[in-house]
Homo-oligomer: A and B are copies of this chain.
Amino acid sequence: MANSASGDSVVDRVVRVIEAFPEGVTSLQLSELADRSGLPLSSAHRLVRQLSEHGLLDLGAGGTVRLGLRLWELVNRNSPTLALRQAAMPFMEDIQQVLNQNVNLAVLDGWEALFVERLSRRGSVANRARIAGRMPVHISSAGLALMAYQSRELQAEYLEQFVDPSGKLTAGVVRHLLAEAAQQGYAQLAGVVDPDTWGIAVPVMNAKRRTVAALGVVVPLAEMRLQALVPALQTAARGIGRQLGD
């Protein structure tokens, strides 16, 4: 693979350009893109032009760069989460209808919950779990539900490296939260992300009883009815798991 003078490969540079967009930012000026990806303007321009020819980027008038519609199409039509999302969507709609709350679906990626699908109700409480958003395991009910059913080895590895940037939680507390979630069959977190909301999540297990996702809702504290929410979520999670098979 060909290397530039600075020693990075073309593949590295392609990745740096795609990664240069901060979360939720859909367009960047070419000069800012060059800055953020650490490339000389001329190299960035050449690379952007090449990627634009293939529709992976979109280079507009005035040097505005966006991710290309073609890239979005390619990634979404063959998404690694396609089967999971297709299996889950009807059940998520059921939950949304029955509970009238925000519903989300997350997978474990590293030590974070990555939200792969979301349904939100207008008028419902804010849900910070955006599609393609992330939250650390220890501050999201989805993350706790995902981690609580992983192997002992993985949990140990997670707790081993655990440091709470806010200094509020110790690994011991997180270990307790995980054990509690595993024992109860659901995870709940009150007011960690938003002071007036409560997150509840349950594991989604495939036919091999491997936890492949977490299904959750975010509800206002005043509407918190665990005895109604948890059975509905668990029922939907079992339905998703059955659809998924192995």
Contact = CB atoms under 8 A, between A and B. Distances in A.
Contact of A50 (B11, B54, B76, B81): B11
B15 A78 contact: no
A115 B133 CA distance: 22
Copies of this protein in the assembly total 2
A73 B122 CA distance: 25
A120 B89 contact: yes
A130 B66 contact: no
A208 to B, nearest CB: 16
> Chain A at the B interface: mostly helix, strand, loop or mixed?
mixed
Interface residues of A, number: 58
A244 interface: no
Contacts of A21: 74, 78
Interface in A39-56: 46-47, 50-51, 54, 56
Given A24-B78, A26-B79, A122 B90 contact: yes
A131 interface: yes
A107 B58 CA distance: 15
Top 6 closest pairs, chain A to chain B, by CB: A2-B2, A10-B10, A76-B132, A77-B132, A21-B78, A15-B54
